[in-house]
């Protein structure tokens, strides 16, 4: 039991909880505590993914010795100034085994000396009389905190509203031994990576596999959302399209019934002539994803839910929309950019957690957003922007979500890194000694219809790399600079895309940017 009032109580010692705790520890804030139900950090990875191969990229050999640039190809490391705490030192496997992640997170927790209390499963979160929170664990110990940060991830299976779904074996409970499915007909409900990971595991031993769901299969290489189907899990598509017994069913499972012969599934097709059909299977597996578990919250502080009640609704500060002082970190924070960027994954939310830490420092401890000073000229500001977009990992990984914001007040400009776009729009970055006249919001973004085009179709016309005047039509990732003036977006400039992601050509990138910034600063734009 804690008699003192904590500033921050973090629930969950997974990657997000460890990242936030490490930042608090680094800055000398000792009035925090992490509560973890398991006896190790990152316990999620002791069971998931069920077939043990991560689909997060790990590339130690990049040809660069720039640690910031290398994080673009390292999707597993947490943020730290200690080079020993880079995941790429642990394995050369491009798609590592989950056991390596467990070892890495244990080492990270030990090296950063974060304050974690293990075997403390939170069973209740309630409002206290002073406006803070009282948190109780399974042993009856209570903790008092001004603010609570939930970093538990989506810890409960999402059960689709299908009659008879209880007859299905869930992803978290099913056998992962292919021999247990020998010569069986298997239906897998779901079309995400867990469904196709499971299908891949069973292809050699089953009679046939059907993968079913109402949504189309969306490929990550086309949508640029890494939660969509990854190529590492799509061998099953070959077996379907090359007529090798397996199939993908587009439509709705209307019911699952069990009888002496197995399972009878009623399926309504979306695209075939058969409107509804009964199909027979020996096994039915439900691989339909996960959701947030709100059961620990009292009615007085239960967060509102969205997206089929799978995520807590959040403000641009990752705070509950209806429970002040209740924040979310890690996978849960993807509600703000659901299926549009990378906040649901370590290589995205590590930066979001750092941004959350800066938001908390600004809001509760009067510490302004870290910023460097730049001469307020078009040339100097252009050089600062180009230097950052050519090596920043945060803007690269959190495309369209995090921005560098360059603010101008008189003859002084300040460069703020990795600011959530929504947070800047809501809160701004002005201070008492820096009354912002102009702001330039710098993001990396794909084109507006980038996911509507097959990137391998060579008949589709691409914008030339040196066509600066057509950069706004580019489909591939490229820098976008928005000029904010008097509370609105006054002008937008796109830098031409580049195969090597080097936006530094004097005539193609720098000169047009300098001209744009000069017009904005002189008042001739917007």
Query: Taking CA 98 as the corner, what is the angle to CA 307 and CA 332, rounded to the nearest 5 degrees?
Result: 20
Condensed to tens digits (0 to 9), the pLDDT of residues 60-103 reads 999 999 999 999 999 999 999 999 999 999 999 999 999 999 99
For the chain, how many residues are written?
A: 526
| Rounded (5°) CA angle 151-156-161 | 135
Considering only 174-178, 192-196, 287-291, 457-461, which range has the smallest mean pLDDT? 457-461
Distance CA 509, CA 317 (A): 33
Share of residues in the chain with pLDDT > 90 (%): 79
Would you state the structure tokens that stand for residue 327, as one six-digit string?
A: 């924040």
Q: What is the largest CA-CA distance in the chain?
A: 81
Nearest C-alpha neighbor of 13 from the set 50, 43, 56: 43
pTM of the model: 0.94
Segment 120-164, tens digit of pLDDT: 999 999 999 888 999 999 999 999 999 999 999 998 898 999 999
Identify which of 336, 211, 186, 196 has the alpha carbon closest to the alpha carbon of residue 262: 186
What pLDDT, on a 0 to 100 scale, did the predictor assign at position 249?
A: 94
State the Cα torsion 37-39-40-46 to the nearest 10°: -80
* DSSP symbols for 372-426: EEEESSHHHHHHHHHHHHTT-SHHHHTTTTEEEEEEEETTEEEEEEEEEHHHHHH
Helix (H) or strand (E) holding 93: none
pLDDT at position 148: 98
pLDDT reported for residue 486 = 83
Least-confidence region, from 12-21, 96-105, 233-242: 233-242
Distance (Å, whole) CA 326 – CA 328: 7
Q: 344-372 burial by CB neighbour count: b if 16+ within 10 A, else e?
A: bbbbbbbbbbbbbbbbbbbeeeeebbebe
């Amino acid at each position: 039991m804690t008699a003192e009032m904590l500033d921050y109580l973090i629930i969950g010692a997974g990657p997000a909880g460890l990242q936030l705790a490490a930042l608090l520890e680094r800055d000398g804030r000792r009035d925090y505590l992490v509560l973890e139900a398991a006896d190790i950090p990152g316990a999620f990875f002791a069971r998931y993914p069920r077939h043990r191969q991560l689909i997060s990229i790990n590339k130690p050999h990049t040809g660069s010795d720039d640690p910031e640039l290398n994080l673009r190809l390292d999707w597993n490391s947490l943020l730290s100034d200690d080079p020993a705490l880079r995941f790429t030192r642990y394995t050369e496997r491009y798609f590592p085994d989950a056991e390596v992640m467990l070892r890495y997170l244990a080492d990270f927790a030990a090296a950063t000396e974060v304050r974690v209390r293990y075997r403390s499963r939170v069973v209740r979160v309630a409002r206290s009389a002073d406006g803070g929170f009282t948190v109780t664990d399974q042993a009856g110990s209570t903790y008092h905190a001004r603010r609570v940060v939930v970093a538990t991830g989506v810890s409960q299976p999402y059960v689709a509203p299908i009659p008879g779904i209880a007859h299905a074996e869930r992803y978290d409970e099913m056998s992962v031994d292919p021999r247990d499915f020998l010569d069986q007909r298997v239906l897998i409900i779901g079309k995400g990576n867990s469904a196709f990971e499971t299908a891949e595991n069973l292809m050699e031993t089953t009679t046939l596999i059907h993968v079913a769901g109402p949504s189309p299969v969306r490929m990550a290489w086309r949508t640029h959302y890494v939660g969509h189907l990854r190529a590492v899990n799509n061998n099953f598509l070959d077996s379907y399209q090359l007529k090798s017994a397996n199939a993908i069913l587009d439509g709705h499972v209307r019911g699952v019934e069990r009888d002496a012969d197995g399972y009878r599934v009623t399926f309504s097709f979306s695209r075939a002539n058969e409107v509804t059909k009964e199909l027979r299977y020996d096994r039915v597996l439900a691989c339909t994803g996960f959701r947030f578990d709100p059961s620990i919250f009292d009615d007085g502080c239960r967060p509102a839910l969205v997206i089929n009640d799978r995520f807590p609704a959040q403000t641009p500060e990752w705070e509950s929309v209806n429970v002040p002082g209740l924040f979310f970190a890690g996978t849960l924070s993807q509600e703000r950019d659901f299926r549009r960027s990378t906040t649901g994954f370590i290589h995205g939310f590590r930066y979001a957690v750092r941004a959350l830490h800066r938001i908390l420092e600004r809001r509760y401890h009067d510490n302004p957003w870290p910023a460097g000073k730049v001469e307020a000229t078009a040339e100097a500001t252009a050089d600062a922007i180009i230097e950052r977009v050519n090596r920043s990992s945060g803007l690269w990984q959190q495309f369209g979500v995090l921005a560098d914001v360059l603010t101008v007040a008189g003859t002084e400009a300040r460069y703020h890194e990795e600011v959530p776009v929504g947070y800047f729009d809501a809160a701004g970055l002005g201070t008492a000694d820096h009354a912002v006249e102009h702001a330039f919001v710098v993001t990396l973004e794909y084109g507006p219809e980038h996911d509507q085009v097959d990137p391998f179709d060579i008949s589709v016309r691409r914008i030339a790399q040196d066509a600066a005047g057509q950069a706004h039509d580019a489909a591939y990732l490229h820098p976008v600079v928005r000029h904010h003036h008097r509370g609105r977006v006054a002008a937008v400039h796109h830098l031409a895309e580049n195969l090597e992601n080097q936006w530094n050509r004097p005539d193609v990138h720098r000169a047009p940017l300098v001209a744009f910034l000069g017009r904005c600063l002189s008042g001739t734009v917007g």
